[in-house]
């Protein structure tokens, strides 16, 4: 069986989930479900990044322990995934004891292979924010340096362990140039080379000696492992925690397709440092890294101070998870930044889900009730060219959609599903079953109803990774047995002969727009 592994980044446990987390994680869930329905053995992992200075600071402020803070936030994320019908195979937390042991072991391996050395690390630090300030965020005024909040910052020097990433600079440039890892979109490769793989490229600092809340280095108890190294290793530790054989099965096997999905601001860590760490540890490389754009609002990037942060829990209460999943997969670009719009969510829900998908289900069941005694007729071809040509349209769709699924381009998958829906609607309009009935062309009418039911069966099957619960309801309304829900059975036109359909119920209710 072909194997597929997909991950999201693990989310930093310092706050609540926003729509960006929801988008990335739904996208991974949808891709994983698509691969599964076309016959792959899939593994999907997401989770929480729970160490670091920021967690310590927030816990202190809230007067709780670090563990209490990360336990609390982890539950919120897990609840969100449940409410959005996101079903990972494993939800990893970096405070998991087995993960910590895994990270320590890998640090020791790197250390014994002499990829790690101790040196002085000079950094810029804001005492008031209690944060290291990266070069890009430093504000210089009258020769003095300030953080983005206007506090004066100091430069400090501390002992740190470093990873010899510079030794692998030429190697990683080659990996990226030769597409040994496919970076999607490919335009990110040039950005990485220009912005990071230049003369400024340095060895990576991978420890902190002023940090309490982190994974301890066994070789030196004064140091904790830097959160990025700790976090990246989850992609393999998660497999080993889940099952002893899973690292071999889903990672080490060259035939497994391995995909990391992430938002563009963390591309550098995944496309430069992570492959170098894998190389140092003698692991294979991922097949593909998809670095998607941001979800912004009409007032720009979401931020707490502007008050334009979209709360995914509120959205679920208003619209239900299937409509949110569908909207995000259709309207949010996998490449460019996209604007989140509740107005467009409502429009998409009404137009695509009520008037199109829901209506097709309803209409088809109505026609079967009216002309075929609530039973799907036996599949039997006639000489009618219009009908035969629609049968070919359905066959073309099924062969094409599998290729599209393998590109992992969910925007394109939705487009092809929309084309199938339009074809089904015109099939009804052009062939007018009510006329076939009046003209007593009963063989044609039965062939028409069989083709229509088959096309709807295929539509439900291929929309199911997005509309998780409504596709199940639609499948049940047709009375299709569960064991027909496979790629092999779905392509057989006679597999639903003589099935008695159930009553149709409205799948999606219209939502009225707020006029303000
Ligand atoms: Zn500051």
pLDDT digits over 471-489, tens only? 999 999 999 999 999 999 9
Has residue 516 got a pLDDT over 60? no
Helices (H), 38-65: 53-62
Q: Tell me if 276 sits within 8 A of 249, measured CB to CB.
A: no
Q: What is the distance in A from the centroid of ligand 1 to the CA of 12?
A: 20
Q: What is the distance in A from the centroid of ligand 1 to the CA of 133?
A: 8
Residue 370: phi and psi, rounded to 5, are -75, -45
Q: What is the distance in A from the centroid of ligand 1 to the CA of 24?
A: 30
Confidence bin at 304 (pLDDT 50/70/90):
low
Confidence bin at 344 (pLDDT 50/70/90):
very high
| Residue with tokens 């004066």, as numbered in its chain | 152
Q: What is the distance in A from the centroid of ligand 1 to the CA of 138?
A: 10
Q: What is the distance in A from the centroid of ligand 1 to the CA of 306?
A: 19
Q: What is the distance in A from the centroid of ligand 1 to the CA of 128?
A: 5
Range with the lowest mean pLDDT among 38-42, 69-73, 334-338, 411-415? Answer: 334-338
Measured distance CA(472)–CA(461) in Å, rounded: 9
Burial 164-178 (b: 16+ CB within 10 A, else e): bbeebbeebbebbee
Helices (H), 204-309: 227-232, 234-242, 246, 267-268, 274-280
The percentage of residues in the chain with a pLDDT greater than 90, rounded to a whole number, is 85
Q: What is the distance in A from the centroid of ligand 1 to the CA of 129?
A: 4
Q: What is the distance in A from the centroid of ligand 1 to the CA of 132?
A: 9
pTM: 0.94
Per DSSP, 503 falls in state -
Q: What is the distance in A from the centroid of ligand 1 to the CA of 426?
A: 61
Q: Tell me if 257 sits within 8 A of 5, measured CB to CB.
A: yes
Confidence bin at 127 (pLDDT 50/70/90):
confident
pLDDT confidence of residue 19: 94
Mean pLDDT of 332-361: 95
Has residue 392 got a pLDDT over 70? yes
| Residue with tokens 């912004």, as numbered in its chain | 296
Q: What is the distance in A from the centroid of ligand 1 to the CA of 432?
A: 70
Q: What is the distance in A from the centroid of ligand 1 to the CA of 271?
A: 30
pLDDT digits over 273-291, tens only? 999 999 999 999 999 999 9
Please state, as a whole number, how many other Cβ atoms lie within 10 Å of the Cβ of residue 190: 11
Tokens of 265: 């601001």
Greater pLDDT, 367 or 298: 367
pLDDT confidence of residue 130: 66
Q: What is the distance in A from the centroid of ligand 1 to the CA of 148?
A: 7
pLDDT digits over 414-466, tens only? 999 999 999 999 999 999 999 999 999 999 999 999 999 999 999 999 999 99
Go through the domains of the chain in sequence order and give each one's CATH number.
Answer: 3-115+164-292 (3.40.50.620), 341-490 (1.10.730.10)
pLDDT confidence of residue 297: 81
pLDDT digits over 184-215, tens only? 999 999 999 999 999 989 999 999 988 899 99
- Which of 262, 260, 252 lies closest to 235, judged by CA? 260
Q: What is the distance in A from the centroid of ligand 1 to the CA of 131?
A: 7
Q: What is the distance in A from the centroid of ligand 1 to the CA of 146?
A: 7
Which residues have C-beta within 8 Å of that of residue 75, sequence separation ≥ 6? Answer: none
Range with the lowest mean pLDDT among 84-88, 101-105, 135-139, 191-195? Answer: 135-139
Q: What is the distance in A from the centroid of ligand 1 to the CA of 123?
A: 14
Q: What is the distance in A from the centroid of ligand 1 to the CA of 126?
A: 5
pLDDT confidence of residue 82: 98
Has residue 306 got a pLDDT over 80? no
């Amino acid at each position: 069986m072909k194997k597929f592994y997909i991950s999201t980044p693990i989310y930093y446990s310092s706050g609540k989930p926003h729509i960006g987390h929801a988008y990335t994680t739904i996208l991974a869930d949808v891709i994983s479900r698509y691969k599964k329905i076309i016959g792959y053995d899939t593994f999907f992992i997401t989770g929480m990044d729970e160490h670091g200075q920021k967690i310590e600071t927030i816990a202190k402020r809230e007067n709780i322990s670090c563990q209490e803070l990360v336990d609390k936030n982890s539950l919120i994320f897990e609840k969100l995934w449940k409410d959005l019908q996101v079903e990972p195979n494993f939800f990893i937390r970096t405070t998991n004891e087995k993960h910590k042991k895994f990270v320590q072991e890998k640090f020791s391996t790197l250390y014994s292979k002499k990829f790690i050395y101790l040196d002085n690390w000079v950094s810029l630090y804001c005492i008031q924010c209690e944060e290291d300030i990266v070069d890009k965020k430093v504000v210089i005024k009258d020769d003095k340096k300030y953080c983005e909040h206007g506090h004066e910052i100091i430069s400090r020097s501390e002992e740190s362990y470093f990873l010899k990433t510079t030794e692998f600079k030429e190697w990683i440039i080659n990996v990226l140039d030769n597409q040994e890892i496919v970076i999607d979109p490919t335009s990110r490769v040039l950005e990485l080379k220009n912005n990071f793989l230049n003369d400024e490229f340095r060895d990576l600092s991978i420890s902190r000696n002023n940090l309490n809340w982190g994974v301890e280095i066994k070789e030196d108890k004064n140091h904790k492992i830097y959160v990025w190294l700790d976090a990246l290793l989850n992609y393999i530790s998660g497999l080993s925690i889940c099952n002893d054989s899973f690292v071999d099965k889903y990672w080490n096997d060259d035939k497994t397709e391995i995909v990391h999905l992430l938002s563009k601001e963390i591309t550098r860590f995944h496309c430069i440092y992570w492959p170098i760490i894998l190389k140092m540890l003698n692991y294979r490389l991922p097949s593909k890294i998809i670095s998607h754009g941001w979800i912004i609002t009409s007032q720009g990037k979401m931020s707490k101070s502007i008050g334009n942060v979209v709360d995914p829990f509120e959205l679920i209460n208003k619209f239900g998870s299937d409509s949110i999943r569908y909207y995000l997969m259709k309207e949010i670009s996998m490449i460019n930044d996209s604007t989140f719009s509740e107005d467009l969510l409502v429009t998409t829900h009404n137009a695509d889900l009520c008037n199109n998908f829901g209506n097709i289900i309803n209409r088809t069941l109505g026609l079967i009730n009216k002309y075929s005694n609530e039973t799907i007729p036996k599949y039997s071809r006639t000489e009618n060219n219009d009908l035969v040509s629609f049968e070919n349209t359905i066959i073309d769709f099924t062969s094409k959609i599998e290729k599209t699924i393998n590109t992992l381009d969910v925007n394109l998958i939705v487009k092809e599903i929309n084309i199938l829906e339009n074809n089904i609607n015109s099939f009804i309009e052009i062939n007018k079953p009510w006329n076939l009935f009046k003209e007593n062309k009963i063989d044609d009418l039965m062939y028409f109803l069989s083709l229509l039911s088959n096309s709807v069966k295929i539509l439900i099957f291929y929309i199911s990774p997005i509309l998780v619960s409504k596709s199940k309801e639609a499948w049940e309304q047709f009375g299709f047995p569960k064991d027909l829900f496979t790629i092999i059975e779905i392509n057989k036109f006679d597999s639903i002969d003589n099935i008695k359909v159930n009553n149709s119920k409205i799948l999606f209710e219209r939502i009225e727009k707020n006029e303000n």
